[in-house]
Amino acid sequence: MKSFPIPVSVLTGFLGAGKTTLLNRLLKDPALTDTAVIINEFGDVAIDHLLVEQSSDGIIQLSDGCLCCTIRGDLVDTLADLVDRVQTGRITALRRVIIETTGLADPAPVLQSIMGHPALVQAYRLDGVIALVDAVNGMATLDNHIEAVKQVAVADRIVIAKGDLATGERQLEALRARLRQINPVAPFVDARAPEAGYAALFECGLYDPSTKSADVQRWLGEAAEHAHHGHGHDEHHDRGGHAHRHDARIKTFTLVHDRPLAYSSIETFLDLLRSTHGDKLLRMKGVIELAEDPTRPLVIHGVQSILHPPAQLPAWPDDVRGTRLVLITLDMPEDYVRRLFAGITCTPLVDAPDLEALENNPLAVAGFR
């Protein structure tokens, strides 16, 4: 039986992006044996060829040993029920959970359910977010639906589906460039490629208690250090000559500090950030070198105002020390965040801080004095 915490992967993507097709193919992979799949309605997922039996409590047994269950009222209740089944022996093994969101879903509440519930954080760990994008309709979808932009922005992996139906390589290149504007760090995966399976989509790098290891670079994104110095979202225009209205609202940037930080300083920074702009923080990931224990890095992970309980790794997985925070934001003033971070790290800025913008945050102002 898989020991707790059980890794959870969130499969998201707009209506018609191809989530069901990908899910069906993934469930045939032996690496995903003993996986539970949580969906909104059975009728939306074509799993008939995998169906073995359906019980009255919303659990389907699939032919490969996996389970499929619906969200009954609340995702937290469904996840808690799976934990209860494992603990009472009604499920003999559970190695992974995949949550398929509805096409119109903002993924943030799903991530909050996993990371913010005091009992669930002991039983589950978020492995990663997989976002599917339709190669044919992706551009129009991103233009018209902010939910689709959010799905791409918070993803750890971006799967481009229906590439064979695109009008040509130029259309695919334009879509990839658009997606890279929204999410500078997530690797692209071609849904048509044979290697678009377990190895490419899962085990995104966060600490795994079963292996006692972590791939911090992979988790934070290989390009995270360049996210802020790359393309400015407001500078990009489509062929019609106007800025992508939703894309410009999403920004990814990295905060870096090369010396150890006191835990109290990080705590103050996170508290102020969540209290002032928590609703604009789509996702945050970070690794911190603590002054109190510099040999063991602290991992933090947050969605909006919800912060997963910080955890320390047993050792640094690479030679890079210090603090690296990757923030994915919606309409958040980057200047405010950088000045707040400079305040708690006692790092001077070239420009004087905008005290008027911070006047309602005495602690933030105090950090600059």
Give CA angle at 173 (146, 145), nearest 5°.
Answer: 10
Please count the structural domains in the chain. Answer: 2
Has residue 169 been placed in a domain? Answer: yes
Examine the domain organization and report whether 264 and 337 are in the same domain.
yes
* Mean pLDDT across 64-71: 66
More confident residue, 266 or 210: 266
Q: Which of the residue ranges 165-174, 226-235, 240-249 would you say has the lowest mean pLDDT?
A: 226-235
Tell me: the pLDDT tens digits for 121-153? 889 988 899 999 999 999 999 999 999 999 999
| Whether residue 128 is found in the same domain as residue 255 | no
Do 351 and 261 lie in one domain? The reply is: yes
Report the pLDDT averaged over residues 49-56. Answer: 44
Q: Are residues 180 and 37 in the same domain?
A: yes
Domain boundary among 170, 202, 234: 202
In a domain, 308, yes or no: yes
- Round the average pLDDT of the chain to a whole number and report it: 79
More confident residue, 4 or 112: 112
- pLDDT class of 161 with cuts at 50, 70, 90: very high
Whether 283 and 154 have beta carbons less than 8 Å apart is answered as yes
What share of the chain in percent tops pLDDT 70?
76
Q: Which domain holds residue 81?
A: 6-202
Shared domain for 181 and 260, answered yes or no, is: no
Q: Residue 40: name the closest of 102, 91, 88 by CA.
A: 102
Check which CATH number belongs to the domain holding 65 and give it.
Answer: 3.40.50.300
> Could you give the dihedral angle defined by the CA atoms of residues 256, 259, 264 and 266, in that order, rounded to the nearest 10 degrees?
10
pLDDT greater at residue 194 or residue 295 = 295
Query: 171 pLDDT exceeds 80?
Result: yes
What would the 3-class secondary structure string for 93-151 be? CCCEEEEECCCCCCHHHHHHHHHHCCCHHHHEEEEEEEEEEECCCHHHHHHHCHHHHHH
Tens digits of per-residue pLDDT, 110-128? 888 888 888 888 899 888 9
Same domain, 184 and 256: no
**For a pLDDT cut of 90, what percent of the chain falls above it?**
34
- Looking at the fold, whether 90 and 197 belong to one and the same domain comes out as yes
pLDDT value at position 245? Answer: 72
Q: What is the CATH number of the domain that holds 259?
A: 3.30.1220.10
Pairwise pLDDT comparison (369 vs 259), residue with the higher score: 259
Is 212 contained in some domain?
no
Inter-residue contact 311 to 332 (CB < 8 Å): no
Alpha carbon of residue 223 to chain centroid: 15
Is residue 210 situated within a structural domain?
Answer: no
- Residues 152 and 254 grouped into a single domain: no
Which secondary-structure segment (H or E) carries 176? helix 169-182
Q: Is 196 found in the same domain as 84?
A: yes
Can you give the pTM of this predicted structure? 0.80
- What the block records as the tokens of 166 is 């695109």
Do 89 and 179 fall into the same domain? yes
| Per-residue pLDDT at 339 exceeds 90 | yes
pLDDT at 34 exceeding the cut of 80: yes
Instruction: Read off the pLDDT band of 216 (50, 70, 90).
Output: confident
Average pLDDT over residues 231-243: 44
pLDDT digits (tens, 9 = 90+) for 266-275: 999 999 999 9
